[in-house]
Each structure stands twice: as C-alpha cells, then as structure tokens.
Structure 1
Amino acid sequence: MKVVCIGSGNVATHFSNAFKANGAELMQVWSKNQNHAAELAKATGAMPISDLKKIDPTADLYLIAVKDDAIPEVVEALNAVQGIVAHTSGATDINVFAESGMNFGVLYPLQTFSKQKALDFKNVPLCIEAKDQETLDALKSIARMLSPLVYEVNSEKRRILHLSAVFACNFVNHLYALSNDILAKNDLDFEILRPLIMETAEKVQDAFPADVQTGPAIRNDEQTIVKHKELLKDMPELKDIYETLSKSIKKTH
C-alpha cells in the first residue's frame, strides 16, 4: 500500500512510523516547513515536499494530519488524487470533504501523541467514517493494518469522543502541570506524585471513575478543604480551580 502523509507533527509522525512498520510504502511527507517534512521523510524513507501541487496522485491513501483549520485548504488541493483521502481530526466533520468528489473518510486515533515517546499502535483505538460503504470497507482494512481496535463512529459521535478525551487527557495533564507548579514553589519534587498518578490511572482500568473517587470533597471534609484554600490564598486562579472541582465532586456524589 502506498501512503502520502500530509503533516509532520505528532500525529503524522506516529501514523507514518506505524504504516512503515506494517509494510506500507511512505511515498511523500508534506509540510509547509520543508525541514520538518525532511525530518519525517528521512525516518520513513519518503520524499519530503512543501508544495501541495507536487503531491503524487497515485497513492492508495492520503492521510491529512494537520491542524483543523488547515484541513479545508489541503482538501481543496487534493482534488485530482486517486486514492482515499482521510483526515485524522476528532473535531472536524466529514462534510469538510463534501464538495471534493473524492473517495474520502476519517481515520481518527483516540490517543495522545508526542514525537519523543514511542507507543504501540496496536493499543490505539481507531475511529473511522467514510463517504460510502465501499470506502468504509477499504478504510477499515487500512485501519486494521495498524490496530485491532477499529470502530465505526460518525462525525457527531466522534466530536463527543473528542470532547471526552479533552476532559480525560488534556485537562488531567494540565492538572499535573499545576500540581508540579505548587510543588516547585515549595521546594518539592514532582517525582513523589508519580506512584499516585499511576495508581489513579490503574484503578479506572476495571472500575467506573465515579466509583473510585477519593479525597476531601467526596468525604465532605470541610476542615481539610479550608486548609487547602488557605494554602492557595496567593494563587487565586488555582484556588478557583480547586473550588470548582471540589464543588463538582460534591454535586456528582
């Protein structure tokens, strides 16, 4: 199978490496930044390009892994290609392709990606959608090259998944960063929190999150909550977050 990767960021990098590892030929890597394209192309044996007009029209798959607001521009430039064109966005509707006349679809990986951290794509859920059944079947076969966790999810449901992922991943990681800020200001090391973070993540592997909630808010331990808020008196933004989350926990339980 021949693949053209449009993008050179975190998602593009992991997809390209996964396709290469599973026997696909990476024909080209496109990026507005030629150096970024060259870096990923070198790792995957592809040709780097920075001009959308130079994209080879004979590939089997054109994977669009760029920022959401750049997708329409890329779609417009791919009107002469022969293969399936699929974007990887969780928040962009499949209708972005509606006027294109191409074989199009969505190949959305429900995972967090960083270039510097390798991951096993076989553990990545892939959510697919396509213009018609024939394209969907082809996209399903492509997805199963990479992962056994393939789900048919329409645009509306995919947006809900993406929203849930922001709460479960992006917001949680931001809270880790805020925790680190609190520790650093008090000469404490984030390392001491890592076992707690791992235990919290492991609990929800076989339990519903609401069933394993702990902490002062669920216990209605107002004495501890008051002490915590006193510690945050010089950090009003963190105090607001603390109060909002504590209120949400109490309301939920």
Structure 2
Amino acid sequence: MLKIVLIGGGNIAHHFFKVFSNHKSIDLIQCYNRNLDKIKSFEKSTIITNNINELLEAAIYILAINDDAIPEFSNKLPFSNSLVVHTSGNVSMLDLNEKNRRGVFYPLQSFSKNKEVDFNEIPICIEAENEADLNILKVLAETISSKVFKISSEQRKILHVSAVFVNNFVNQLYYIGHDICKKHDIPFEILQPLIKETSKKIEEISPKEAQTGPAKRNDTETINSHLELLTNEDYKNIYKLLTAAIIKTHGRKKL
C-alpha cells in the first residue's frame, strides 16, 4: 500500500484528497497546509498538520501548491532522499530541491472545488529522475486513472500551453458568447448542444476537419455582417483575429 502525504489546500489538493481516500491501495496518511481551516474537513479521514516539521514518513510527498511556491517549499522540507513530486503543468521537475528524489504527478484537467470529476478519465502525466521512482508514480497514477503518460518537463510545458488554448481561451470565448446572448435576451442554453457536438466531434476527427463556419468558407458577406453587429471593440478584434487565423489554416485568400 502506497503511503502518501498530500501538501496543499487548494482545488487540486481537495480533488486528490477525495480520490486517494476512496482507494484501498492508497494510504493517505497525512495532509499539510499552512492554513488548517482549508483542510479541516480532511481530518475525518486522515491526520492534518500545519507544521512542516511534523510531516510523517511516506512513499510519496505530493506538492499540490501554487507554482511559485514549489521551489521554496521543497527547500524547506526537513528530510532528504524521499520521493517529492509537484502537480504543476509549467514548473520543471528540476525546480524541486535536489536533496530529495524528484518527480512530477500532473493531472491535466481544470479543477473547481465544488465540481466533481471522474479521475479515471483524467490524463496523469508523470516524470521522475530514475526508473524506480517512475514506476512508483506509474502505480499510483494507474490506481486512479486509465490515462497515464510519461511526459518530460519540456513536453509538459508545451502541453500546458496547448491546454491554455483549448481550455482557458475557449472558455473565454464561451463567456463572450454568453455575454452577447445575455445583452440581447437570448438564452445561452440554446448554444449548449452546439458546444457539446463540437467537443464530441473532435474525439473522432481532427479539429481541422471539424472546422465549419463563415471563415472557413470565406463568406465575406456574413463575416462583415457579424462585424457590424458587434459593438464591443474587444470582441470585434477577437472575431477578426480568429477569422484571419481560420482563413489562413484552410488556405483561403485573405479578405
């Protein structure tokens, strides 16, 4: 049974706590956070502490903390030669202090504290300095997920940039669509089947093949009509930028 110490009190830590607590082959022996109030609910299932010097001996220490806090916190750990991993998409494994064996346990998903997730469908990207530690992380990852990938620090940074495009930027476009609908008394739910269908479609074909719309057709009349309707200059500029990008991707002549 893998003994785990979980460090952090944010969204990722809360989701890891739930999934680790529900697996018999994982022994979540302790959770740490500077502010005990944020992990108070954990104490029904495990030991909690805000004293770094009280950390118990474990097979893996998982740092589910802010990116900028990872190097400093790993420096303060009061032990050496233990397996310490972080959960960041953008921080190098080598940013962890070298007094411990270093690794990464990165779940590629957007987490909200009160939104349940199915960890079995979440890709877990793992990295370690040696094969033995990589195998330990592989066992842990495969216990909670069916999608486990060995990804280097450089690959993970590239993956993180890609994730910003397909998740954060796309969600901002959802916000813009929602805002436009709201200002014209149109229920946003009318667009939800379209969102779901496009998301489902790219599981079977590439995003390039799935592209539709006036920009792909280079339908200048419709494009200009849309631009006239948009009164928000930021939205108009985004529309122009994405339209130009789609036209270029699909080899259409510029407007």
Report the TM-score when normalising by structure 1. Answer: 0.93
Aligned residues: 248
8 Å contact kept, 1:64–1:87:
yes
1:147 paired residue number: 145
8 Å contact kept, 1:7–1:31:
yes
8 Å contact kept, 1:30–1:49:
yes
1:52 paired residue number: 52
Aligned runs of 1:165-180 on 2, under 5 Å?
165-180=163-178
Which segments of structure 1 move beyond 4 Å, counting only runs of 4 or more? Answer: none
Cα distance, 1:48 vs structure 2: 2.5
1:239 paired residue number: 236
2:39 paired residue number: 37
2 CA distance for matches of 1:52 and 1:236?
Answer: 50
Aligned runs of 1:56-67 on 2, under 5 Å?
56=56, 58-67=57-66
Q: Deviations over 1:159-178 (max 9, x none)?
A: 11111111111111111111
2:249 paired residue number: 252
Establish whether residue 8 from structure 1 lines up as the match of residue 31 from structure 2: no
8 Å contact kept, 2:94–2:102:
no
Cα distance, 1:81 vs structure 2: 5.4
Query: Percent sequence identity over matched residues?
Result: 42
1:89 paired residue number: 88
Aligned runs of 1:94-133 on 2, under 5 Å?
94-97=93-96, 99-133=97-131
Cα distance, 1:79 vs structure 2: 4.3
171-180 vs 197-206, which deviates more? 171-180
2:71 paired residue number: 72
Cα distance, 1:33 vs structure 2: 2.2
77-86 vs 239-248, which deviates more? 77-86
| Two-structure CA RMSD over aligned residues (Å) | 1.5
2 CA distance for matches of 1:35 and 1:79?
Answer: 23
Cα distance, 1:246 vs structure 2: 0.6
2:186 paired residue number: 188
1 CA distance for matches of 2:53 and 2:147?
Answer: 34
Instruction: Name structure 2 gaps, 5 residues minimum.
Output: 251-255
Q: Deviations over 1:104-155 (max 9, x none)?
A: 2001111122222212211111111101111111111121111121111110
User: Aligned in 2, Cα 1:150/1:96: closer, same or farther, shift over 3 Å?
Assistant: same
1:26 paired residue number: 28
Secondary structure at the counterpart of residue 217 of structure 1:
helix
Secondary structure at the counterpart of residue 218 of structure 1:
helix
1 CA distance for matches of 2:187 and 2:53?
Answer: 51
Aligned runs of 1:192-203 on 2, under 5 Å?
192-203=190-201
2 CA distance for matches of 1:9 and 1:231?
Answer: 41
Residue type at the aligned position of 1:124: I
1 CA distance for matches of 2:35 and 2:139?
Answer: 31
2 CA distance for matches of 1:179 and 1:161?
Answer: 26
1 CA distance for matches of 2:187 and 2:55?
Answer: 49
2:253 paired residue number: none
1 CA distance for matches of 2:101 and 2:78?
Answer: 10
1 CA distance for matches of 2:101 and 2:23?
Answer: 23
Cα distance, 1:54 vs structure 2: 2.7
Secondary structure at the counterpart of residue 80 of structure 1:
coil
Cα distance, 1:83 vs structure 2: 3.9
Indicate which of 148, 159, 162 corresponds to 1:161.
159
2 CA distance for matches of 1:33 and 1:181?
Answer: 37
